[in-house]
């Protein structure tokens, strides 16, 4: 399995304790596992999902005008937002509208709920039977893309209640809209072919497709993020590979390799030299800082308490056009269980991790060199 080529940059244990200790760790009152995160488009506030509830977090200090006063009031008086339609099930995905005025959730019970962030009130909810995936993405201010029966994609106008099929030939395990609002990436299908399909976010018209692991090699896409300029995508995927040294009694033993690739959106090409992660446990989420200089990667194995198997890594001086190039690597240590989600917060000054141990950890992001 490939590993990060960063030995010269790994800090000593003493340095790690000084540099990387969480700035603060917060446990929501419920004490439940934290299963999802979403940062506002400007990364100035944060939403976190637990069992049947969404918690809002604002920076400890912010300048006048940075945070909508109505949102700040909701955060003080109606936090968390309780979702009775989730029936106590985990909030698996969160999405925030481009203007930050709406918050959408997708629960393990198959219910989508929309809130107004200025009022803390529910605007609409909808049950989605027969789904096994939970992706959501705002297509426009009043329309949410969701999966429905057998994981096909539907556009839901939550103001009128109308629904219609969207890019109806595709199934989705994940949906991601580019920051400029023009492209939708569809990935992680129920039948994992490893292809990423790019479509027009308004019409669903196919623009192209690519395989993150290269032609002829299938790799299941786990998560995907666009760079802030919408010109590239960063993709975490896994593929099954045979290790010649693992053959025993005539059995071909295979192992999973988790990779991070940068993809060029304009010509649908894989940028050479993928970055690969140095733990052979699933990558579950990735995040890119608003300035594009930092990449965060998290993952782990459900039920594993070993901190070496539940990790978060922050790459600084990172360049999506040059994966594999020299960068500063910092381990975000101390998680007591699987790390499910990561996001940048406070305008990119902090990186936040969500963990099954019930804690949300806030880490100070170092200035890029």
Task: Give the pLDDT score at 172.
Answer: 86
Task: Give the pLDDT score at 8.
Answer: 27
Which candidate, 147, 145, 171, places its Cα nearest to that of 158? 145
Task: Give the pLDDT score at 332.
Answer: 87
Task: Give the pLDDT score at 87.
Answer: 77
Task: Give the pLDDT score at 104.
Answer: 94
Q: What is the CA radius of gyration of the chain?
A: 20
Task: Give the pLDDT score at 62.
Answer: 82
Evaluate whether 75 touches 84 at the Cβ level (below 8 Å).
Answer: no
Task: Give the pLDDT score at 46.
Answer: 93
Cα–Cα distance measured from residue 154 to residue 347, given in angstroms and rounded to the nearest whole number: 32
Residues 45-89: tens digit of each pLDDT:
999 999 999 999 988 878 878 888 999 999 888 888 988 888 788
What b-and-e string marks burial along 169-178, b requiring 16 or more CB atoms within 10 Å of the CB? ebbbbbbbbb
Cα 64 from chain centre: 29
Residues 180-200: tens digit of each pLDDT:
999 999 988 655 567 888 999
Evaluate whether 260 touches 234 at the Cβ level (below 8 Å).
Answer: yes
Phi, psi of 49 (to 5 degrees): -105, 140
User: Which residues of the chain fall below pLDDT 50?
Assistant: 1-21, 215, 246-247, 249-252
Q: What mean pLDDT, rounded, does the chain reach?
A: 80
Residue 276: CA atoms inside 13 Å, Cβ hemisphere, count? 19
pTM of the predicted structure, to 2 decimals = 0.86
Which residues, including other chains, have CB under 8 Å from residue 214's CB and lie 6 or more apart?
A: 270
Cα–Cα distance measured from residue 152 to residue 166, given in angstroms and rounded to the nearest whole number: 8
């Amino acid at each position: 399995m490939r590993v990060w080529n960063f030995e010269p940059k790994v800090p000593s244990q003493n340095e790690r304790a000084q540099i990387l200790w969480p700035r603060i760790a917060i446990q929501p009152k419920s004490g439940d596992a934290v299963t999802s995160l979403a940062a506002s488009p400007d990364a100035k506030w944060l939403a976190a999902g637990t069992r049947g509830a969404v918690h809002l977090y604002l920076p400890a200090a912010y300048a006048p005008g940075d945070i909508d006063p109505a949102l700040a009031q909701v955060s003080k008086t109606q936090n968390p937002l309780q979702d009775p339609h989730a029936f106590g099930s985990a909030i698996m995905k969160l999405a925030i509208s481009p203007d930050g005025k709406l918050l959408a959730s997708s629960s393990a019970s198959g219910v989508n709920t929309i809130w107004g962030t200025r009022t803390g009130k529910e605007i609409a909810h909808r049950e989605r039977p027969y789904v096994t995936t939970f992706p959501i993405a705002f297509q426009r201010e009043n329309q949410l893309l969701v999966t429905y029966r057998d994981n096909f994609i539907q556009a839901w106008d939550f103001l009128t209640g109308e629904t219609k099929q969207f890019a109806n030939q595709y199934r989705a395990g994940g949906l991601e809209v580019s920051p400029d609002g023009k492209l939708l990436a569809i990935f992680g299908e129920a039948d994992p072919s490893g292809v990423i399909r790019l479509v027009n976010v308004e019409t669903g018209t196919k623009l192209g497709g690519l395989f993150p692991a290269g032609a002829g090699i299938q790799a299941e896409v786990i998560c995907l993020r666009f760079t802030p300029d919408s010109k590239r995508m960063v993709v975490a995927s896994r593929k099954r590979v045979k290790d010649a040294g693992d053959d025993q009694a005539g059995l071909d033993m295979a192992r999973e390799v988790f990779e991070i690739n940068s993809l060029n959106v304009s010509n649908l090409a894989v940028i050479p030299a993928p970055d690969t992660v140095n733990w052979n446990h699933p990558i579950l989420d990735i995040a890119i800082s608003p300035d594009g200089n930092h990449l965060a990667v998290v993952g782990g194995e459900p039920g594993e308490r070993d901190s070496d198997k539940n990790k978060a890594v922050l790459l600084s001086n990172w360049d999506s056009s040059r994966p594999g190039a020299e960068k500063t690597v910092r381990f975000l240590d101390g998680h007591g269980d699987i790390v499910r989600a990561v996001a940048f917060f406070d305008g990119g000054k902090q990186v936040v991790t969500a963990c099954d141990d019930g804690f949300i950890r806030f880490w100070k992001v170092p200035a890029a060199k």
